[in-house]
Structure 1
Amino acid sequence: MKKGILVLIFILSFFSGKLLADGPVSWKMSIADKGNGEIELVANATVAPGWHLYDTQIPDGGPFPTSISIDEIKGAVAVGTFHAVNSKLHKDFDKVFEMEIGYFEKSATFVQKFKITDKSKFVLKGDIRAQACNDRECTPPIPIDFSFTSGSLPASVTVSTDAKEVQVTVSTDTIATVSTDSISQAQTTDSQNSDLWTPVIKELNEFGAKGSVSGRSLLYIFGAGFIGGLIALMTPCVWPMIPMTVSFFLKRNKKNRGKAIKDAIIYGLSIIVIYVLLGLLVTAIFGASALNDLSTSALFNLIFFGLLVFFAISFLGAFELVLPASWTNKIDSKADSTTGIISIFFMAFTLALVSFSCTGPIIGTLLVDAASSGDVIAPAIGMFAFAFALSIPFALFAIFPSLLESMPKSGGWLNSVKVVLGFLELALALKFLSVADLAYKWGILDREVFLVLWIIIFALLGLYLLGKLKFAHDSDLKYVSVPRLFMAIISLSFALYLVPGLWGAPLKSVSAFTPPLFTQDFNLYDGAVHAKFDDYEAGMEYAKMNNKPVMIDFSGFGCVNCRKMEASVWTDPRVKHSLENDYVLITLMVDDKEKLPEVIEVEENGKTTKLKTIGDKWSYLQRHKFGTNSQPYYVLLDNAGNPIGPSYAYDEDVEKYLNFLKIGVDNYKK
């Protein structure tokens, strides 16, 4: 009974432990005295057998090099480059990257030299990022933080007399500090370019806004939760419970049918309360700010990917995911020993525990989707919708008990529902792996690879529904029923629908799930819109020289609605023509994990914020200049960085979008 839970704990431990720790590489940081006022930061890496660690110098387009980032440095200056010493460097031609790449096995030592200028004030903080690979997989370049102060220095360290005269050459990511609330001062000293970062929130509000994203997001979560609840009803753990529970209420109150109906309604409300509390618990654990980061965090998306694959394997019949029997027995005894509303509540709790093996994967998937939407109340909304759908039959059959006789009997079809859900879980899991892959630019799940996997999954699902694929726990299928036939037709047709996508077809109906078109290596489709610039200042300079207005597209690799807009709105010939001819299109990815040349500190809401990546920079631009932080977000600007029309969020109405673009062009000409 506990086997599924133990496996789940193992999976969670594996993913969180592997990603939160160093993985196959363990690090040890120290400070060494090199004499004459010089020290070295020494990073010793121990590499697990079968794995290798990349060198600090990797050509462009290759894997992630081992690198250092200095967040704070006082009382010292960096000298020279971050490099490997006393380590055996292997060099081979990599067929995947088509270049010669250096790497280390078993162990490696990296150093960065510093010249001490003030021993008493010495502070050194930062991180080292490295990517380790074996023959099958690679780890993400997760930062390994280090922090040293004057007390960490060896007692023998002295300050040389020529410390202030030393010529310093720094190739590492040193820090730039900005004392004002304008990041532009860290980027350029040109006053005109500095104005491009000036907030225009008030001016933008005067134009108003088009489209909406939050309302649709919560509506989507509610709909997904409700559908999930209906699906849960048709699982082997819940379906047989409906007539049993309703019959119990009717027999319990034979002489008072009104009370039986009342008890059944309270039972349904108790189910809603239990699952809504679960949704609120997710928000309480993660917190509002963490939920906003889930949609692009590689760590969480990889954990979610692992969980969904785990749930899929459970649904396909490899094992049964159940809670310990002692939990169920304890709650069941509480229901027997109490009376009134409390007794009914514990009965509902018992249902939640008993049905966990079937509802757990559905709830887990729903909570993952709701949490990664970034809205704080989304988990509670999703759980409310799920529980609402789950509770409807209990109240409905209590009011109309004659309907119980027409319920389909339990049988092999319930197991088929679980298997179908298993295939769908596998397909959905790839979405979360894709988000992490895009955010960190690993390139392991390009669009055509994603589509190939989906085509295979849905083709196999269609064959299963036709009885051509059978699992060990399946009942013999004597004939194909009409519902199974129609579901098989839908699944196989969907698989065929995806095939043209291998050659670049936009596949608008699934564009929110598939990776963007630009990740596809072989693309015959020329209807996609590509941004002319992915850098704000460079794009604004080009627009000024060519006397054109600008459209800023705040987007993200993990932004579902961004992909929908690009596939369903931007591919319209009229929209495409306007974006390519009337505007200079600048797309800024707020979840781009590529590191900035310099770490930048800005003052925001009374706190110091560090911008380490390109995505950090564009996210700050959106918050600071435009007062919003949701994607997709489109804003039209003149050459001075002032708005020339309303902002636009998620709305797939092509005519509204065309009007939005026309307003900007007309105002720019004026």
Structure 2
Amino acid sequence: MQELWSFSILAFGSGLAALLTPCVFPMIPLTVSFFGDKNPQDKGRSNKKSGIKKALLYGFFIIQIYVIAGTIVAKINGPEFANWLSTHWIPNVLFFVIFVIFAMSFLGMFELTLPNKWINKMDGLSNKGGILGVFFMAFTLVLISFSCTGPIVGSVLVLSAGGAVIKPIVGMFAFSLALALPFTLFAAFPKWLEKLPKSGGWLQEIKVILGFFELALALKFLSIADQVYHWGILDREVYLAVWIVIFSLLGFYLLGKLRLPHHAEDKITSVPKLLMATLVFSFVVYLIPGMIGAPLKALSGYLPPLTTQEFTLNTSFREGTTKQSHQDNNSSGSDNCPKPKYADMLQLPHGLKGYFDLEQAKQCAKAQNKPIFIDFTGHGCVNCREMEARVWSDKRVLEILKNEYVVVALYVDEKTKLPEEDWYVSEYDGKTKKTIGKQNADYQIRKFTNNAQPFYVLMDSKEKVLTKPKAYDLEANNFIDFLDKGIKSLRKKKYNQVQNESKSSIIRCSK
């Protein structure tokens, strides 16, 4: 729920940003005139009520058009499709290319527009009047503003495509609500238009700023494909280097030191631009320590994990990413704990030692008499990286995980194919599960009726759940309570088991 709210706020903010583009902002006074009094001499209350009614319908139709687009995206979503869409290299590379195209359009390289025939047809239908006319007026706005809103709408839909079914619908509703609200208000109260700033070059500048942000966001999709398929072409320091350059160029643009097509030269830097440039360069300065291993917790969900970084001064983190001996991978050094599979391509953060296969974790947990901490995670999981950076990094949490639990990370999007003898047909969907990720995802759905990540489960070596599983929660104290409950539950089970065995022995002896 918290993630959905965060996404809704992001989508609403995107709608507000779309309002300040040169395709949308000048449309406000033009479209609002459609709802003005048809007869200037008639200033009656009924005419005013009619204008407000049409304005509300206008806003409703704008929202409806965008929500229908979100519903179409939601209809083709499902657990299997959503996982493919969010982790497979084909859609992620495609999304990367789309974002780059959107960015180039915003930066002035070319214009994305719909065919004039479509726009003229809708414009003609809008003149018919009545409810149908209001609908086509709203549709005309959507079409005319496409060259500016298209990239933003596409971005919102792409960001929501790998999520739950409701996410694209909520995203489009929030986006269109922000877009429709001012049109509705100004249509209902035309006098407010006098207080609006005049359109001009500042709208083009906002469009360029959005272009730089689109370019930065594009890297996220290429990064997901890179991590899932272990290409190694976009490690953390490379990703950061590109971001540093992008936002530095944005800062220079705001200062008037960088000119793009269709922009006049600025001889004076305004105070608002100077303040914005200060924020942008401050962000660049914040990014630079990440090149040598600074965790950058505020951005942890959007950057590749620290385990992908070639060089870092954070030795405690790198400690867990190097290949280790059999004894080093188990805190007790028990020979009954197997050497972890897949440790050459998968790692745990913060120097934690553990497993990536549940059967191995169960074997070690039984040998060490410890509970199991299961982390259902994914290479492309933003919230997983955020939990690792903000919660797992807490010294108290790390101590408990290192000393009290056998940790196993089950990646639901790992594409490594298993030997054919390990394949099986799922009881859930009847499909053959051939990869590590598909088997982990299938286990999570079948065992816990859940397919969201991160998802944390505490169990014993016999797969008995010790306490209620936990999802995304950035409060470290809550996470510590969760871990403590698992430890206490296992101790209680062992105590009861010992008591029952003692009673059985006494009964046998008395006989």
Tell me, yes or no, whether TM beats 0.5: yes
- Pick the aligned partner of 1:418 from 207, 212, 215: 207
Corresponding residue for 2:308?
Answer: 519
SS in 2 for 1:593: coil
- Cα displacement (A) at 1:623: 2.2
2:437 to 615, 636, 656: 615
In the other structure, the counterpart of 1:238 is 24
- The 5 A counterparts of 1:135-150 are none
1:3-152 alignment runs, 5 A limit: none
The one-letter code sitting in structure 2 at the alignment partner of 1:271 is I
Q: How many Å apart are 1:636 and its aligned residue?
A: 0.8
Residue 642 of structure 1: CA displacement? 1.3
Give the conservation status (yes or no) of the 8 Å contact 1:637–1:644: yes
- Of residues 11, 14, 17, the one that matches 1:225 is 11
Match of residue 85 from structure 2: 294
Greater Cα shift, 459-468 or 616-625: 616-625
Aligned residue type for 1:487: M
Is the CA contact (8 Å cut-off) linking 1:599 and 1:610 kept in structure 2? no
Matching residue within 141, 146, 170 for 1:381: 170
- One-letter identity of the residue aligned with 2:130: G
Q: Runs (4+) of structure 1 moved beyond 6 Å?
A: none
- Structure 1 residues 415 and 668 mapped into 2: Cα distance closer, same or farther (>3 Å)? same
Identity %: 51
Displacement, 1:648? 0.6
State how far apart, in whole Å, the 2-side matches of 1:466 and 1:537 are: 58
Paired with 2:142 and 2:445, the residues of 1 have a C-alpha distance of 42
Match for residue 465 of structure 2 among 627, 634, 643: 643
Give the match for residue 248 of structure 1: 34
Give the match for residue 312 of structure 1: 103
In 1, the alpha carbon distance for the partners of 2:449 and 2:165 equals 19
Is residue 549 of structure 1 aligned with residue 371 of structure 2?
Answer: yes
Instruction: Please give the alpha-carbon distance, in whole angstroms, between the structure 1 residues aligned to 2:391 and 2:32.
Output: 49
Give the 3 Å change call, closer, same or farther, for CA 268–529 of structure 1 in structure 2: farther
The aligned amino acid for 2:460 is D
Distance 1:269 1:398 in 2: 13
Q: Is the Cα–Cα contact under 8 Å of residues 59 and 180 in structure 2 kept in the other structure?
A: yes
Instruction: Kindly state the Cα deviation for residue 280 of structure 1 after the two structures are TM-superposed.
Output: 1.3
CA distance in 2, matches of 1:597, 1:410: 63
Deviation at 1:608, TM superposition (A): 3.0
> Structure 1 pair 531/565, CA: closer, same or farther in 2 (3 Å)?
farther
Residues 1:536 and 2:358 aligned together: yes
| 1:449 alignment counterpart | 238
Change (3 A) 1:344 1:253: farther
- Structure 1 segment 318-357 matched on structure 2, within 5 A: 318-336=109-127, 338-357=128-147
**Correspondent of 1:634 among 456, 459, 462:** 456
Stretch deviating more after TM superposition (243-252 or 412-421): 243-252
CA contact (8 A) 2:67 2:173 kept: yes
Provide closer, same or farther for how the CA distance between residues 443 and 620 of structure 1 changes in structure 2, counting only shifts above 3 A.
Answer: same
Per-residue Cα deviation, 1:355-408 (whole angstroms, up to 9, x for no partner): 111001001101100112x21121111111111111111222234333211111
Shift of 1:560: 0.8
Instruction: Please say if residues 448 and 502 of structure 1, whose CA atoms lie closer than 8 Å, have aligned partners that are also in contact.
Output: yes
SS of the aligned residue for 2:114 comes to coil
Letter in 1 for 2:437: G
Cα gap change, 1:286 to 1:575, in 2 (>3 Å): closer
Alpha-carbon contact 1:288-1:376 (below 8 Å) kept:
no
- Corresponding residue of 2:260: 471
Q: Kindly state the Cα deviation for residue 428 of structure 1 after the two structures are TM-superposed.
A: 0.4
- Is the alpha carbon distance of 1:405 and 1:332 closer, same or farther for their aligned partners in structure 2, counting shifts above 3 Å? same
- Find the aligned partners of 1:253 and 1:281 in 2 and give their Cα distance: 41
Letter in 1 for 2:442: Y
Name the amino acid aligned to 2:475: D
Alignment of 1:239-278 (within 5 A): 239-252=25-38, 254=40, 255=43, 256-278=47-69
1:282 is matched with which residue? Answer: 73
Verify the 8 A CA contact 1:253 1:260 in the aligned structure 2.
no
- Residue among 134, 159, 165 paired with 1:369: 159
TM-aligned CA deviation for residue 284 of structure 1: 3.3
The 2-side partners of 1:368 and 1:274 are apart by 18
Q: 1:580 maps to which residue?
A: 402
Q: 1:523 to 1:262 in 2, by over 3 A?
A: same
- Residue aligning to 1:400: 189
- 1:54-88 C-alpha deviation (Å, 9 max, x unpaired): xxxxxxxxxxxxxxxxxxxxxxxxxxxxxxxxxxx
Of 504-513 and 538-547, deviating more is 538-547
Structure 1, gaps ≥5 residues long: 1-214
Which residues in structure 2 correspond to 1:554-573 (within 5 Å)?
554-573=376-395
Whole-Å Cα distance in 2 between the matches of residues 517 and 598 of structure 1? 33
TM-superposition CA deviations, 1:244-295 (whole Å, max 9, x none): 2223312336532221122111111110111111111223355664234321
| Cα deviation, residue 601, structure 1 | 4.6
8 Å CA contact 1:602–1:608 kept in 2: the answer is: no
Partner of 2:431: helix, strand, or coil?
strand
AA matched with 2:85: L
**Bigger fraction of residues in helix:** 2
C-alpha contact 1:282 1:379 (8 A) present in aligned 2: yes
Alpha carbons of 1:531 and 1:276: their partners in 2 closer, same or farther (altered >3 Å)? farther
Paired with 2:366 and 2:92, the residues of 1 have a C-alpha distance of 40
More strand by share: 1
Which residue does 2:505 correspond to in 1? none
Aligned twin of 1:669: 491
By relative contact order (CA 8 Å, sep 6+), the higher-ranking structure is: 1
Q: Distance in 1 between matches of 2:429 and 2:5?
A: 34
Mapped partners of 2:237, 2:427: distance in 1: 43
Question: Quick check: 1:459 aligned with 2:283?
Answer: no
CA RMSD of aligned residues (A): 1.6
- Displacement of 1:554 in angstroms is 0.8
Q: Structure 1 342/562 Cα, relative in aligned 2: closer, same or farther at 3 Å?
A: same
Cα deviation per residue 1:544-564 (whole Å; 9 max; x = unaligned)?
Answer: 222221101110001111001
Which residue identity lines up with residue 384 of structure 2 in the other structure?
A: C
State how far apart, in whole Å, the 2-side matches of 1:514 and 1:606 are. Answer: 33
Tell me the alpha carbon deviations over residues 291-334 of structure 1, each in whole angstroms, 9 at most, x when there is no partner: 34321121111110110001001111000000011110111111
Superposed displacement of residue 633, structure 1: 0.8
Tell whether the 8 Å contact from 2:75 to 2:165 is kept in structure 1 after alignment: no
Distance in 2 of aligned mates of 1:388 and 1:288: 28
SS for the counterpart of 1:648 is coil
Q: State the TM-score, normalized to the length of structure 2.
A: 0.86
